[in-house]
Chains A and B, each alone.
Chain A
């Protein structure tokens, strides 16, 4: 077992997944917090779905979408990009499962921003996108940080959707969570135990970092 490779791979893909979920996550949070449009409740429900559906079920839906003959996978296949059972599938599964947590945290943060600042910016000639990036987002920064940490943490521990679309290929798609399951399954309890310890250390660091960020933000405010 290469504990280092598994750890680095997991942290790396979780970082990529966090970056991948940020743009759509911020946009969705903004739409849900400030948007007045038909279908808002429906959008809210769809975004939150991975939170309540069994992750394995979400994984199966993703598999149907990004398989080489699936509606999304076909487009990538045409460009010569395979997703299923590669590291890209790991990142995708992590991002989809972390997204609802990110959106929820950021949305709550945006709802906390007093909209008189946004109104003032609009009277000063700022278009909605500029208002979002210069007023809303900076004022909601603590929530964005907290949401990103939550999404990252969820990505680190992702199992169900990952195993469906990325499998457990040593050295290629095997993350900490998947590796722990695979080792325990095949009786390699010591390897599994070592990875549990690694997971605990990473979780500890992530939590400490997020607490530090939050306390620094609130002391500045």
Chain B
């Protein structure tokens, strides 16, 4: 369960969010500039709200009144940003293993089989195609054993054909690993295919929730 109740000044408007996400996959839907990415940044601790609180699975990671602001690296949130940001100076394998946590159960073999990246592990990042990068970024995030997965338009840069191939990977993550997912997209069909609940954002406010 993710409890969000915060205000964050966003330049042209104030993001004002007060929602509880209790289902496995939530899609944040909205036009570009609606504040979707900022919500993910706030959950991950990359941006600090002006006021309010954020809790991930009942663990408070931000509370302006209590002066709590858990740094990003202790929030255990897997975040695949829109630009995926694979480390360009490391091989795919070192990328995927970068965030591996001590004593976590997930094996590299399992994750790479599920996302079909076994054949990519020894390659360098610049050699990868867009779709391969997104699968590797997803694997890297999963290997850090996140309590929550944040995906920011993970398929935005991918053509329709590839998208049809990648969506099943995300469904497998949802079904096999049971990591809750907050999924940002502006594509309603993507949102309905994957999500249990859709939240529509406009100008930093929730204007619609549908199951």
Q: Do A and B bind each other?
A: yes
| B57 → chain A closest CB, angstroms | 16
Find out whether the CB atom of B85 lies under 8 angstroms from the CB atom of A119.
yes
Q: Mark B87-115, 1 if CB is under 8 A from A, else 0.
A: 11100000000110100000000000000
Interface of B is mostly: loop
**Which chain B residue lies CB-closest to A116?**
B85
Task: Select one of A123, A125, A127, A135 contacting B87, CB under 8 A.
Answer: A135
* A52 on interface, CB distance cutoff 8 Å: no
Distance, CA A171 to CA B79, complexed state (A): 60
Q: Which residues of A contact B79 (CB under 8 A)?
A: 120, 123
Q: Which residues of A contact B78 (CB under 8 A)?
A: 123-124
* B174 on interface, CB distance cutoff 8 Å: no
How many B residues, CB 8 Å from partner? Answer: 24
Interface of A is mostly: helix
* A193 on interface, CB distance cutoff 8 Å: no
| B141 → chain A closest CB, angstroms | 7
Q: Mark A36-67, 1 if CB is under 8 A from B, else 0.
A: 00000000000000000000000000000000
Find out whether the CB atom of A125 lies under 8 angstroms from the CB atom of B85.
no
Find out whether the CB atom of B83 lies under 8 angstroms from the CB atom of A125.
no
* B77 on interface, CB distance cutoff 8 Å: yes
Distance, CA A86 to CA B170, complexed state (A): 66
Distance, CA A9 to CA B101, complexed state (A): 49
Find out whether the CB atom of B44 lies under 8 angstroms from the CB atom of A123.
yes
Q: Mark B121-155, 1 if CB is under 8 A from A, else 0.
A: 00000000000000000001100100000000000
Q: Which residues of A contact B101 (CB under 8 A)?
A: 125
Find out whether the CB atom of A124 lies under 8 angstroms from the CB atom of B88.
no
Distance, CA A126 to CA B88, complexed state (A): 17
| B71 → chain A closest CB, angstroms | 7
Subset of 17 A-B contacts with CB under 8 Å: A116-B83, A119-B85, A120-B85, A121-B87, A122-B71, A122-B73, A123-B46, A123-B75, A123-B77, A123-B99, A123-B144, A124-B99, A124-B140, A124-B144, A125-B76, A125-B144, A126-B99
7 interchain residue pairs of minimum CB distance: A124-B99, A122-B72, A123-B79, A120-B85, A116-B85, A122-B73, A124-B144
What is B's interface to A at a CB cutoff of 8 Å?
A: 44-46, 71-79, 81, 83, 85, 87-89, 98-99, 101, 140-141, 144
- Given A123-B79, A125-B74, 4 extra CB contacts under 8 A: A119-B72, A125-B73, A126-B73, A126-B99
